[in-house]
Chains A and B, each alone.
Chain A
Amino acid sequence: AQKVTQAQTEISVVEKEDVTLDCVYETRDTTYYLFWYKQPPSGELVFLIRRNSFDEQNEISGRYSWNFQKSTSSFNFTITASQVVDSAVYFCALHSPFGNEKLTFGTGTRLTIIP
């Protein structure tokens, strides 16, 4: 069985602070894919990034960065110099493509940026 844990239910930080959202996953498969999605207050779900299990390179995109560590089964997301527009619920998700097509989501972290 696969599982995604986002232990941080809610986080509040003051604007311009850095913040890291944690994601820990469980899977028995050696090939799998990890994703982050953003759900702003308007409610839509927006894809942010994906990572293949065989690619452990970290990635930076502007103020966003992702740290993938297979040794600790974690795929953490850091926002540098946070802005009010970053306020949203963020979901981490795991896809193990063998057996079924289920994409497992974590329960989400609600991030509030205080101006």
Chain B
Amino acid sequence: NAGVTQTPKFQVLKTGQSMTLQCAQDMNHEYMSWYRQDPGMGLRLIHYSVGAGITDQGEVPNGYNVSRSTTEDFPLRLLSAAPSQTSVYFCASRGGQPNSPLHFGNGTRLTVT
């Protein structure tokens, strides 16, 4: 079982460039989410999805887009990268019960210059 797979592991972008962070899970989880981790700020929710075709904003959604066309995939798009989006990004999924723990991908370290 691969769990949650994130790609790429590292990425450097120039201001204004766009890119997509990929996330896939093979646990048939309905719930998926994206977090960003910044020093001293913990993990902050960007967007989440409770099932295919359903997405919603989290705490820090500006500058990011998501879609959920399948249960397995939940890509995160940066349309026009900004230095403030330099961060470590984590994708996560969980089962349907509210006390189900999150399963995290290994993270993507993004630098925007």
Is A44 a contact partner of B107 (Cβ separation < 8 A)? yes
Surface stretch bound by A, among B17-25, B63-71, B73-81, B94-102: B94-102
Provide the residues of chain A in CB contact with B33, threshold 8 Å: 101, 103
Interface residue total, chain B, C-beta cutoff 8 A: 25
Is A101 a contact partner of B43 (Cβ separation < 8 A)? no
Is A103 a contact partner of B42 (Cβ separation < 8 A)? no
Per the bound structure, the CA–CA distance linking A91 and B40 in Å amounts to 12
Tell me whether B34 is interfacial, beta carbon within 8 Å. no
Q: What does the 1/0 interface line of B34-55 toward A look like (CB < 8 Å)?
A: 0100001111110010100000
Also in contact, A45 and B90, with CB within 8 A (given A91-B42, A107-B40, A107-B42): yes
Tell me whether B88 is interfacial, beta carbon within 8 Å. yes
Q: Of B35, B42, B45, B92, which is in contact with the most chain A CB atoms at under 10 Å from its CB? A: B42
Per the bound structure, the CA–CA distance linking A80 and B44 in Å amounts to 30
Is A103 a contact partner of B41 (Cβ separation < 8 A)? no
Is A52 a contact partner of B59 (Cβ separation < 8 A)? no
Is B43 a contact partner of A91 (Cβ separation < 8 A)? yes
Chain A interface residues (CB < 8 Å from chain B): 4, 9, 33, 35, 37, 43-47, 50, 52, 91, 95, 97, 100-103, 105-108
Chain B interface residues (CB < 8 Å from chain A): 31, 33, 35, 40-45, 48, 50, 56, 58-59, 88, 90, 92, 98-99, 101-104, 106-107
Supply 18 further A-B pairs (C-beta < 8 A) apart from A37-B102, A52-B99, A101-B31: A4-B42, A43-B107, A44-B104, A45-B43, A46-B104, A47-B102, A95-B98, A100-B56, A101-B33, A101-B48, A101-B50, A102-B45, A103-B33, A103-B102, A105-B35, A105-B42, A105-B43, A107-B41
6 contacts between A and B (CB under 8 A): A4-B42, A9-B40, A43-B106, A101-B56, A103-B33, A105-B35
